[in-house]
C-alpha cells in the first residue's frame, strides 16, 4: 500500500512532513477564523434581523449602518482584503504575515458573508411564530435565543456548512502572505516545482475536508430538525 503510494506520488512521500504541516495549518486557520467569524457573523446576522424594518427591535439607522458595512466587506476580494487591512491586522495580532497574520483577514472576509447567511436563515423563521411568542409576553432575549436561534437551528447549521467550506477556500490564499496551508503547498511546491503529485494530493485533502464538513453538517441537520 505505502509502496504503491510512493510509486504514484513520490514527491508526496518525500515531502511528507511538509504535507502534514500544511494540512495542520489549513485546519488551524479554518477552525480559529471559523470560530471568530462565526461569533461575529452570528451577532451581526441577529442584529440585522432584529433591527430591520418590522424586526423585534426595529431601528433604521442601526440597520442601515450594519447593512452597509456587511455589503462593503463582502465586495472586497479576499486577496485585496489581505493587503488593505494590513495595518489593522498588525494592530490586532502584531504581524501581517504567517499563519497568524492571515487569521484577521480571514475573519474580516468571512464574518460579513456569514452574517448575511445567518440573516437569511433567521428570516426564514415564520413571522407568525415570532408574533405568537410576542403575544405570550416573550421579550427580545427570549425571542432571539428561544425562538429565532432555536427555530432557525437547522438552517443555521446549513449556512454554517456553506460558510466553513468557503472559508476553507479562502485559506488556500494564505500562501500569499506566508500563511502556509494546503493551497500554498499545491501552488508553491506542487505547481511551481512541477511536482504535480503534490498538487493533486493537496487537492484531494481539501476535497476530503469539504466532504467531511458537508457530511457532518447534513448529519446534524437531520438529527436536529423535526
Site membership for another protein, residue 134 (CB under 8 A): yes
Binding footprint of another protein, residue count (CB under 8 A)? 22
- The span from the CA of 71 to the CA of 116, in Å, is 9
Coil, helix or strand at residue 176: helix
Site membership for another protein, residue 54 (CB under 8 A): no
Site membership for another protein, residue 151 (CB under 8 A): yes
Site membership for another protein, residue 20 (CB under 8 A): no
Instruction: Find the shortest distance in angstroms from Cβ 124 to another protein.
Output: 11
Q: Which residues of 142-181 are buried (b: 16+ CB within 10 A; e: fewer)?
A: ebbeebbbebbbbbbbbbbbebbbebbebbbbbbbbebbb
Of residues 53, 54, 135, 223, which one binds another protein by CB under 8 A?
Answer: 135
The C-alpha cell of 56 is what?
Answer: 423585534
Q: Which stretch binds another protein (CB under 8 A): 20-28, 73-81, 142-150, 170-178?
A: 142-150
Of residues 146, 208, 215, 222, which one binds another protein by CB under 8 A?
Answer: 146
Site membership for another protein, residue 139 (CB under 8 A): yes
Of residues 62, 76, 92, 138, which one binds another protein by CB under 8 A?
Answer: 138
Listed in sequence order, the DSSP H helices in 9-97 are: 10-14, 16-51, 60-75, 78-84, 86-93
Q: Which stretch binds another protein (CB under 8 A): 94-102, 141-149, 165-173, 194-202?
A: 141-149
- The span from the CA of 102 to the CA of 56, in Å, is 37
Eight-state DSSP code of residue 225: -
Instruction: Find the shortest distance in angstroms from Cβ 223 to another protein.
Output: 12
Q: What residues between 109 and 128 interact with another protein by CB under 8 A?
A: 126, 128
Query: Is residue 192 within 8 Å of 29, Cβ to Cβ?
Result: no
Sign (positive/negative) of CA torsion 84, 89, 91, 94? Answer: negative
The C-alpha cell of 115 is what?
Answer: 452574517
Q: Which residues contact 199 (CB under 8 A, 6 or more apart)?
A: 186, 187, 190, 191
Site membership for another protein, residue 75 (CB under 8 A): no
Of residues 132, 207, 208, 212, which one binds another protein by CB under 8 A?
Answer: 132
Site membership for another protein, residue 133 (CB under 8 A): yes
Instruction: Find the shortest distance in angstroms from Cβ 59 to another protein.
Output: 15
Task: List residues near another protein by CB under 8 A.
Answer: 126, 128-129, 131-139, 142, 146-147, 150-151, 153-154, 224-226
Amino acid at each position: 500500500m505505502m509502496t504503491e503510494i510512493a510509486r504514484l506520488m513520490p514527491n508526496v512521500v518525500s515531502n511528507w512532513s511538509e504535507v502534514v504541516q500544511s494540512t495542520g495549518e489549513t485546519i488551524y486557520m479554518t477552525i480559529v477564523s471559523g470560530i471568530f467569524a462565526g461569533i461575529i457573523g452570528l451577532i451581526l446576522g441577529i442584529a440585522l434581523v432584529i433591527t430591520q424594518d418590522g424586526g423585534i427591535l426595529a431601528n433604521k439607522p442601526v440597520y442601515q449602518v450594519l447593512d452597509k458595512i456587511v455589503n462593503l466587506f463582502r465586495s472586497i476580494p479576499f486577496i485585496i482584503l489581505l493587503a488593505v487591512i494590513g495595518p489593522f491586522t498588525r494592530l490586532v495580532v502584531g504581524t501581517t504575515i504567517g499563519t497568524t497574520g492571515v487569521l484577521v483577514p480571514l475573519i474580516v472576509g468571512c464574518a460579513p458573508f456569514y452574517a448575511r447567511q445567518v440573516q437569511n436563515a433567521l428570516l426564514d423563521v415564520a413571522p407568525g411564530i415570532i408574533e405568537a411568542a410576542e403575544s405570550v409576553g416573550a421579550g427580545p432575549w427570549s425571542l432571539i435565543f428561544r425562538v429565532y436561534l432555536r427555530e432557525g437551528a437547522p438552517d443555521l447549521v446549513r449556512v454554517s456548512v456553506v460558510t466553513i467550506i468557503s472559508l476553507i477556500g479562502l485559506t488556500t490564499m494564505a500562501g500569499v502572505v506566508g500563511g502556509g496551508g494546503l493551497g500554498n503547498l499545491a501552488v508553491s511546491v506542487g505547481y511551481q516545482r512541477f511536482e504535480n503529485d503534490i498538487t493533486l494530493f493537496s487537492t484531494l485533502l481539501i476535497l476530503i475536508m469539504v466532504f467531511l464538513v458537508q457530511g457532518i453538517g447534513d448529519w446534524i441537520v437531520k438529527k436536529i430538525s423535526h
